[in-house]
Structures are given as structure tokens and as C-alpha cells.
Amino acid sequence: MNSRILLIDDDVQLGALLQELFTSKGFAMELAYDGEEGAAKATQGVHDLIILDVMLPKKDGLTVLSEIRQSSEIPVLMLTAKGEHTDRIRGLERGADDYLAKPFNPRELLLRVGAILRRGSWKDSAERDTLTVGPLELRIKQLEASVGPRLITLTGTEERVLEELMRNPGKVQSRESLTERALGRPRAAYDRAIDTHISHLRKKLGRDHLKRPVIRCIRGMGYLLVPDWQPENS
């Protein structure tokens, strides 16, 4: 079955252009032109990925994203205005998987969508592999982890970032390598997407018994997951 994309953007001309491009590449693309319509369609659960503009009539894109994340971990790629770094960070904080600034090359959007979808279907629960590092257990493709009895829900991108760190515990992972392997694209200059996803994971995982982050930042090098740690209240 062709991947089903939902584009939520009030630019009718852009929507027609992207629909033609994506359809020619074998995708099925549905369009929504305002936040209310987009939120209604996004929560139906019939799409494989959502492209969501921040600036929308009736309901802004960040609000739509928050509503989507209340019930679904479907991949969401945000479209932001060029130079609006705050929108990018807020989108990632609310669970967006990636972002692209307007104006953009439509073929770059196509490549980014393809990269996200290739990282694995968000609906696929057939794979039951489990990774364990200390008290942390990650159930791959199920979008959840646990620290002891505490269950942690993850977005698809958070799951991939955490998986990369857990497959190499105690080893520093550069921002560039994490971006390429977890986000499926090269890291651009001033790109803070991976830092935002790491920040989310730190909050969700909590701290160790010495009140230190479980994911450590090594200045000038990148991030590592502490291989042997105890939860804060153990």
C-alpha cells in the first residue's frame, strides 16, 4: 500500500504542487487548509505521516501538533518560517520529528519524508526486540521504555535517538552521527534538533541516584548514555 501523507497548509497553490509531486512518486496525499480541518483529519489514524505548517488559520500548527500527540505518535514534519528558530524548537518540544523552513525545495521535502518513513513504520509492532542498559529497558518499535516499574512513552524520533545511545552505552555519540542515524539526514549548521530530542529524553528518563542526567553532554563532542546507573529514588 502506498504511504499516505496528510499535508496541513493554507497555501492552496503549494498544496497542489506538492500533491502532484508526491503522487508522481507513488504517495497518496490528502490536503487540509486550516488547523481545525487538519486536526480532525490527523486524529482519524489513517495516515502514515503528517506535514504540518506552523502558521494556519482557525488553529495554529503548534496547537494541532499538541492535539495529535495526545493520542498518536505518528511522524510529524513541521513547516516553519525561515529564521523562526523559536517555532522550530517549540515544535520539537511538542513532539515533532523534524522541521523544514519555508521557502524550501519541494524535492528536499520529498527526501525528508522518505527518510522518516524508511526509519520504520510507526504502526509496526511486530518487532519485539528489547535493549537494556542498567535499569532502562527499551522495547523497540513499541515507542515505549521503562525505568523499573515506571513506563515512559516515546515519540518515534525519541525512540530512535535512545536506541542509538543504548546500542553504544558509555560511548560518546556526536551530534552529526545522531542526526544522520536517528533523523535520517545530515546535520546543518546551527541545527539544534538533536539537542531538543535529547532534552526531551533527559526529562522523561529522570536522573540517577546522584541527581545527574542519565544522558550526559560531553562538551565539544556529543552525548553518551551512562552504562551503569541507579534511578534517583532507588
pLDDT digits (tens, 9 = 90+) for 13-51: 999 999 999 999 999 999 999 999 999 999 887 898 999
pLDDT digits 0-9 by tens, 165-176? 998 899 999 999
Domain 130-225 falls under CATH 1.10.10.10: yes
Please state, as a whole number, how many other Cβ atoms lie within 10 Å of the Cβ of residue 151. Answer: 9
Per-residue pLDDT of 95-143, as tens digits, reads 888 889 898 999 899 988 988 887 654 444 444 578 899 899 998 877 8
Residue 221, judged by CB atoms within 10 A of its CB (0-12, 13-18, 19+), counts as exposed
pTM for the full predicted model = 0.63
Q: In the CATH scheme, what is the code of domain 4-118?
A: 3.40.50.2300
- The ranges assigned to domains in the chain are 4-118, 130-225
Band (pLDDT 50/70/90 cuts) for residue 187 is: confident
In percent, how much of the chain has pLDDT > 90? Answer: 49
Residue 230: predicted pLDDT: 86
Largest CA distance in the chain: 57
